[in-house]
Amino acid sequence: MARPILDILAEMPPDPPIDWDAQDMRGLSLWEPWATAVAQRFKRYETRPWGTKYRGWILICSTSKFTQAMREHADLLWRSAVGRRGGLGYEIPHPKWSVGCALAVVKLLDVLPTEQVALDEGVSRRELALGDYRSGRFAWKFGEMHVLRKPYPIKGRQRLWRVSPEDRAAIGALLRPLAT
């Protein structure tokens, strides 16, 4: 039985305090299961056919398009990449996919050639399974991550896009409670 992502996120430990100066936040829309994999911290690199000079806060959004065939593919990829135990020693419940929503805020630290990241011994098999590390592509390295208390409905776009001041304010209010 699929569990709502809100239940899964509520069980995660609190995020560290965030330096919330996101005047130039960008958004990035990802298909499922990749958006949820970022929000659940299974994915620290996002692979793209294009690079960017931008560094800073990125709002991770799930795309609104999600056909039955896409759902079946997402379910299969989630089971094979994350698995029953997810390498963490306990069962990881299958999420209920959120579509057309912002799920997390991440800090983009660097953009590297995929070949460089794929050869790094610190990259897990799961991480490799959740990306396209073919030659000529780019791995976007995420650092600090903050999960929203609940998915925030938002209209995404292709490539990187500027998040409106109104959406930034709403996202700031939805950041998970900070660790004390």
Under 8 Å between Cβ of 76 and 26: no
Give the pLDDT of residue 21: 55
User: What is the rounded CA–CA span in Å between residue 19 and residue 117?
Assistant: 27
Under 8 Å between Cβ of 84 and 91: yes
Q: Is residue 16 part of a domain?
A: no
Give the pLDDT of residue 2: 58
Q: pTM of the entire structure?
A: 0.78
Q: Is residue 146 part of a domain?
A: yes
Q: Is residue 111 part of a domain?
A: yes
Q: How high is the mean pLDDT in each 10-residue block of the chain (180 residues)? A: 57 55 82 84 91 95 80 71 54 68 94 88 79 92 91 85 91 68
Q: Give Cβ neighbours of residue 118 (< 8 Å, ≥ 6 apart).
A: 128, 133
Q: Is residue 137 part of a domain?
A: yes
Phi and psi, residue 91, nearest 5°: -70, 135
Cis-peptide into 165, omega within 30 deg:
no
Give the pLDDT of residue 68: 76
Q: Is residue 17 part of a domain?
A: no
Q: Is residue 82 part of a domain?
A: yes
Structure tokens given for 27: 């958004």
Q: Is residue 15 part of a domain?
A: no
Give the pLDDT of residue 90: 47
Q: Are strands 26-30 and 161-162 parallel, antiparallel or unpaired?
A: antiparallel
CATH number at residue 47: 2.30.130.30
Give the pLDDT of residue 178: 46
Q: Which domain holds residue 44?
A: 3-9+24-170
SS3 141: strand
Q: Is residue 112 part of a domain?
A: yes
Q: How many domains does the chain have?
A: 1
Residues 96, 12, 46, 58, Cα dihedral to 10°: 100
Structure tokens given for 101: 């929503």
